[in-house]
Amino acid sequence: MHAAKFTTLRWFQVCQKLVSINPCNSESLYLLGMAQLLIYDSGIGASADEKMLRDAQQSLQASVDLEGKPSSGEAPALLTGGDRFFCIF
């Protein structure tokens, strides 16, 4: 695996962990969305499909929805729904 791909995947995993620790933080969700978009754009592995693009969209939408709100409390409905786009694999 090339160093750039490894770095991208590692950054993605760090962002996933950050969101799993603090799912109500807008900045964490933004970083995760950008990592997902980078993986989609770069075509790394089997992740370069429409699901990764949808996951990036959900992460970024959740980030916008949480902008200006406290980063503690109940996780928003988008994060607690069926398809958990931020789960660590």
Q: What is the pLDDT of residue 8?
A: 86
How far apart, in whole angstroms, are the C-alpha atoms of residue 36 and residue 83? Answer: 15
Q: What is the pLDDT of residue 46?
A: 64
Q: Predicted confidence band at 23 (pLDDT cuts at 50, 70, 90)?
A: confident
Mean pLDDT of 25-32: 94
Report which of 34, 9, 37, 24 is spatially closest to residue 80, judged by C-alpha positions: 24
> Distance of CA 7 to CAs 1, 11, 13, 40, 64, Å?
10, 6, 10, 15, 26
88 compared with 57, residue with greater pLDDT: 57
Q: What is the pLDDT of residue 57?
A: 93
49 compared with 83, residue with greater pLDDT: 49
Q: Is the dihedral of CA 64, 58, 49, 47 positive or negative?
A: positive
Q: Predicted confidence band at 88 (pLDDT cuts at 50, 70, 90)?
A: very low
Mean pLDDT of 56-69: 91
In degrees and rounded to multiples of 5, residue 63 shows phi and psi of -60, -45
Local structure of 39: helix, strand or coil = helix
Q: What is the pLDDT of residue 72?
A: 76
